[in-house]
Amino acid sequence: MDEPVVTLDHPRFRSVWQAIFTRRLAADCMTHDCTMVDTHTLKHDACCQYGCDVDLRERDAILARAEQIRPLLRAEVANKPWFETDVELDPDYPSGAVVRTEVFNDGCLFLAHDRRGCAIHRASLEQSWDFRGVKPAICRLFPISYEEDTICIADEATEYSCAHVEGPTLYRITRDALADVFGEDLVIALDAAEAQVLAKQPKLLPVAR
């Protein structure tokens, strides 16, 4: 299905799906009890179940932090390879190539610790180092994604219950991450696109009481 888009004034990204400014997401994925929509099965961190694509520079940055991350991981995975060996060329990524994280027990290997969420993110918070450039950008942006010159929404986003509750818009949740990953110029362009989209939204009249 073709999604309505808004043109962007940006050197890399030329358009954005209108839906990122209107569709909503649970405000805090760490407290939301995520379920699979089709089966109604509880599955915390569901969006991480398949592992993720990691730019080769991010892979190297993760490995450079291995001694900070490894102690948090379960013994079964701490000393196993964290990434698949196959490298896929992808011009959408800064290095031009990606690998995938390994999967363990139906989830990304970096979920294999004694709390919810990503062990990379947890290590950065507990040890006070900056996860930017280390935690994969695709994870930080989810459910926002991008293909060639278009900002879009990941295909699987609606499979999870967090996409079917009230909360901030997808754009507002990911705005800071978009600025970190792609620069302030993109957010300026997206803010302008957001204003266009919201100006066309139906105005809700107050309810008489």
Q: Is the pLDDT of residue 205 over 70?
A: no
pLDDT of residue 44: 86
* Higher-pLDDT residue of 29, 70: 70
Tens-place pLDDT, residues 12-45: 999 999 999 999 999 988 888 899 999 999 988 8
* Predicted confidence band of residue 208 (pLDDT cuts 50, 70, 90): low
What mean pLDDT, rounded, does the chain reach?
Answer: 94
Question: Which amino acid, residue 145?
Answer: S
Residue 113: count of CB within 10 angstroms of its CB: 19
Pairs from 86-91 (Cβ < 8 Å, separation ≥ 24): 87/56, 88/53, 90/53
Tens-place pLDDT, residues 166-203: 999 999 999 999 999 999 999 999 999 999 999 998 87
> Which uninterrupted H or E stretch holds 98?
strand 97-100
**Can you tell me whether residue 55 is helix, strand or coil?**
strand
Specify the residue for token string 């295909």.
155
Rounded to whole angstroms, the Cα distance separating 73 from 62 reads: 14
The pTM score is 0.90
Q: Is the pLDDT of residue 209 over 70?
A: no
